[in-house]
Amino acid sequence: MTSKFPMDSLRRRLWLAPVLAALAALALGAPSAAQDRADQTDDGWDYSETGGVHLASVAYDEGRAIGVRCSRGALEVLLLGLALPPPQRVDTVMLDVAVDDHDGQQTWLTIPGQPALFSARPAYLARRLRDAAVISLQIEDQTPRLKLPLPSDGASVDRVLSACGQPLADSRDDLPEIGPRPDDAANSIWKRLPNLSATAADARYDFIVVSCVVAPDHRLTACRPEVQQPSGRAGASAARAFESGRLNPDAAVPEGRLLVALLTPDRR
């Protein structure tokens, strides 16, 4: 199930401005301003804490950068500097990502007016990046494949994860992902749609990403909110609602996979 909604532009700019400014400064080789604390090691992620915002980042040539950020309890993983068409709404894009020997499709988010991709499962990806030597990725059918070396010392990523109350290990990380389906196929995977009426009554969110484990008998279990903007109760409500749905046996969604869905207020 996938849906889209153009977020209020002022709220979006205020939300993203600090991290994008910091990552842009790193990509240009300039120090970020007004840092309360900054640590840089020869082979580690750059780490800064500014006004309670924790950021681990690594910058590359051509303006590319990766950032792992915790702000007000919300974790984000951002990829900056890719040439993408400007999105017209909050949307998903599938990337073929290899982090060392972990290879597979991953769901990312595009947001209007922002030059970054956002991981739909930031805690999972942060843990993979922390321990990896290389990340390579390809955006759908675009070529060539981009390959980026990663620092060998991932302690700064752990600091950001801990600042956001995220576990440093999760057995769920080993499950292969199934991303959102295109609009014309979104409903075909469902035998019974999740009852999202409680989430629909809560208009105080711009988008939510939910992930669920595909269980026997085409049920969904262990659903959890991966991303919510802004933070609040709607994410937990949406996760509970997804467990009321049932998958269509004809859709052939394999048991044990992780189903990822994007919800926005205009379409559920």
The domains found in the chain, sorted by start residue, are 9-170 (2.60.40), 177-263 (3.30.1150)
Please state, in angstroms and rounded to a whole number, the distance separating the CA atoms of residues 63 and 30. Answer: 12
Predicted local distance difference test score (pLDDT) of residue 221: 96
Q: Which residue has the higher pLDDT, 65 or 23?
A: 65
Whether a cis peptide bond, with omega within 30° of 0, leads into 144 is yes
What average pLDDT score do residues 209-216 get? 94
Predicted local distance difference test score (pLDDT) of residue 4: 31
Cβ atoms 59, 30 nearer than 8 A: no
Using the predicted structure, report yes or no on whether residue 3 has a pLDDT greater than 80: no
What average pLDDT score do residues 182-199 get? 71
Please state, in angstroms and rounded to a whole number, the distance separating the CA atoms of residues 133 and 140. Answer: 23
Using the predicted structure, report yes or no on whether residue 115 has a pLDDT greater than 90: no
**Confidence label for 6 from pLDDT (cuts 50, 70 and 90):** very low
Please state, in angstroms and rounded to a whole number, the distance separating the CA atoms of residues 19 and 32. Answer: 10
**Confidence label for 149 from pLDDT (cuts 50, 70 and 90):** very high
Predicted local distance difference test score (pLDDT) of residue 61: 84
Cβ atoms 234, 209 nearer than 8 A: no
Please state, in angstroms and rounded to a whole number, the distance separating the CA atoms of residues 89 and 107. Answer: 16
pTM above 0.85, yes or no: no
Cβ atoms 160, 55 nearer than 8 A: yes
Residues in CB range of 252: below 8 A, 6 or more apart: none
1-5, 77-81, 90-94, 216-220: least confident range = 1-5
Token pair of 174 as six digits: 């080993």
**Confidence label for 200 from pLDDT (cuts 50, 70 and 90):** low
CA neighbor of 68 nearest in space, from 51, 44, 47, 92: 47
What are phi and psi for residue 242, nearest 5 degrees?
-65, -25
If you search the block for the tokens 């559920």, which residue do you land on? 268
How far apart, in Å, are the Cα atoms of 83 and each of 37, 55, 63, 64? 32, 23, 11, 10
Predicted local distance difference test score (pLDDT) of residue 75: 95
Which value, in Å, is the radius of gyration of the alpha carbons in the chain?
18
Please state, in angstroms and rounded to a whole number, the distance separating the CA atoms of residues 22 and 116. Answer: 13
Q: Which residue has the higher pLDDT, 138 or 66?
A: 66
**Confidence label for 92 from pLDDT (cuts 50, 70 and 90):** confident
What average pLDDT score do residues 217-242 get? 89
Using the predicted structure, report yes or no on whether residue 22 has a pLDDT greater than 60: no
Using the predicted structure, report yes or no on whether residue 203 has a pLDDT greater than 80: no
Using the predicted structure, report yes or no on whether residue 153 has a pLDDT greater than 90: yes
If you search the block for the tokens 């998903």, which residue do you land on? 92
- The DSSP code for 145 is P
Q: Which residue has the higher pLDDT, 81 or 118?
A: 118
Which of 2-11, 14-23, 62-71, 88-97 reaches the highest mean pLDDT?
Answer: 62-71
**Confidence label for 84 from pLDDT (cuts 50, 70 and 90):** confident
Question: Which conformational region is residue 231 in: left (phi greater than 0), alpha (psi within -120 to 50 degrees), or beta?
Answer: beta
| Percent of the chain's residues with pLDDT above 90 | 39
What average pLDDT score do residues 42-65 get? 88
* Total Cβ atoms within 10 A of residue 24: 18
Residues in CB range of 48: below 8 A, 6 or more apart: 22, 32, 35, 36, 37, 38, 39, 54, 55, 57
**Confidence label for 180 from pLDDT (cuts 50, 70 and 90):** low
Cβ atoms 109, 120 nearer than 8 A: yes
